[in-house]
Copies of this chain bind each other. A is one copy, B any other.
Amino acid sequence: MTLGKVVGTVWATRKDEQLIGMKLQIVQQVDLDLTLKDSFVVAVDSVGAGVGEIVLYATGSSARQTELTRNKPVDAVITAIVDKLDVPGTPALTEAVEA
């Protein structure tokens, strides 16, 4: 899975009917110190993640293994909201998510 931060939402009325009702979140990749990277994806949200939250997302066919996305044309899905990164030897990161 990839670590990212929800930074916004995509609105689209004309879309494949299998996407109707799905929230499409813009998730920007972050580094281990939570700084934003350049790359981002648009992911379906299966866990109710809000803007500003640090999340994990899965890509590829694995993104279709949630109840919400099964057999849908979805290649990225948010699967977890991160509470904490525990990186021994780098205490600054350990509580970074809550900071």
Contact = CB atoms under 8 A, between A and B. Distances in A.
A83 B12 contact: yes
Query: How many protomers of this protein does the assembly include?
Result: 5
B65 A18 contact: yes
A47 B18 CA distance: 12
Interface residues of A, number: 59
Contacts of A69: 73
B60 A62 contact: yes
Nearest to A47: B14
A15 B80 contact: yes
The 10 closest A-B pairs by CB, nearest first: A8-B87, A15-B80, A62-B75, A12-B80, A65-B73, A11-B84, A1-B42, A14-B81, A16-B79, A58-B75
